[in-house]
Structure 1
């Protein structure tokens, strides 16, 4: 199975978790919330065949970690995986909107013309985030746990971007409606564990199979992105 977005570095026993995922043959991308966390975990994760660590800069932490932008630039060429980055204009994040935007522009300037897989957070800022991604011509983007307007989705799809789906989405009316609007060749899967308590990948796969998106199709979607990456960085 494929988990394109989880926070295994925030779990009580990260090494035990990733060892279990590796033994089961699951493909897992562990996103991070800041460059310092990426650096701490990098060497421990590199030895695994199926586990990857992404370089992140979480928008809700923008004010706290703004001084780590230089570290993002320092580490960006160590991995093919970026996340979690993006924007959050919800009640929780709106007060840091301008800092988030400044940080995102710095990050995308750094990523421009680089071939990465990028997992983005877009809560209440889907339109703004999409416009900025397009401005910088960013490719291989996965909209993690999309909760935005259906009207924005066709433009996300037209740009060739993907959506990662989790169990929680399959159990809510709004989540199911969003999934219905995703073409089968743009569906990926995630857990967002440990923050998402409804994170059973098997149940997500079972739901998707019921709408015609097989386990093989999800794997094929993911490998299609991998084929675009710089060969030297695929293991990063």
Structure 2
């Protein structure tokens, strides 16, 4: 029997996340539950407590970078507890262009923080920005 793996799930955004966790546990699926803000990480991780097949990632979604860049200090405080990081990245769609500089700042900060802590498993957002995301990753690996 093969296992089902969902490597990008916003568990905390489900209408009934507790029920979703029970369904995942019963089905023996593996899930990477990504968060959109550092403030959401602890609560989302708590939802999955006792379900070892659900891993919770510490994230700051690029669409929220402008409004939530003030949470980078919290991100840095939580990072030692998090093996997984996501959802992070860049969104180059026209609707997100006004926050581009904030997105780049947040993404570069998170990549540097992860490198400083020995690396992490990342879940990346790269909508209309794949080249820029890969360039940032390449710069970090060259450092």
- Check whether TM > 0.5: yes
Deviation, 1:24, is 0.8
Whole-angstrom CA distance in 1 between matches of 2:35 and 2:138? 23
Deviation, 1:5, is 0.2
2:21 matches 1:18 = yes
State the match for 1:51 in structure 2: 54
What are the Cα deviations for residues 175-223 of structure 1, in whole angstroms up to 9, with x where unaligned? xxxxxxxxxxxxxxxxxxxxxxxxxxxxxxxxxxxxxxxxxxxxxxxxx
Whole-angstrom CA distance in 2 between matches of 1:59 and 1:49? 28
More divergent stretch after superposition (77-86 vs 39-48): 39-48
Deviation, 1:115, is 3.4
For these two proteins, the number of residue pairs brought into alignment is: 138
2:131 matches 1:124 = no
Whole-angstrom CA distance in 2 between matches of 1:30 and 1:42? 8
Whole-angstrom CA distance in 1 between matches of 2:132 and 2:65? 17
- Write out aligned runs for 1:30-109 (5 A): 30-109=33-112
Which structure has the highest helix share of the two?
A: 2
Whole-angstrom CA distance in 2 between matches of 1:78 and 1:110? 13
2:136 matches 1:135 = no
Deviation, 1:137, is 1.6
SS in 1 for 2:50: coil
Which of these two proteins has the greater Rg computed from alpha carbons? 1
Q: TM-score, normalised by structure 2?
A: 0.91
Whole-angstrom CA distance in 2 between matches of 1:89 and 1:44? 32
Q: TM-score, normalised by structure 1?
A: 0.56
Task: Point out where structure 2 has 5 or more consecutive residues left out of the alignment.
Answer: none
Which structure has the highest strand share of the two?
A: 2
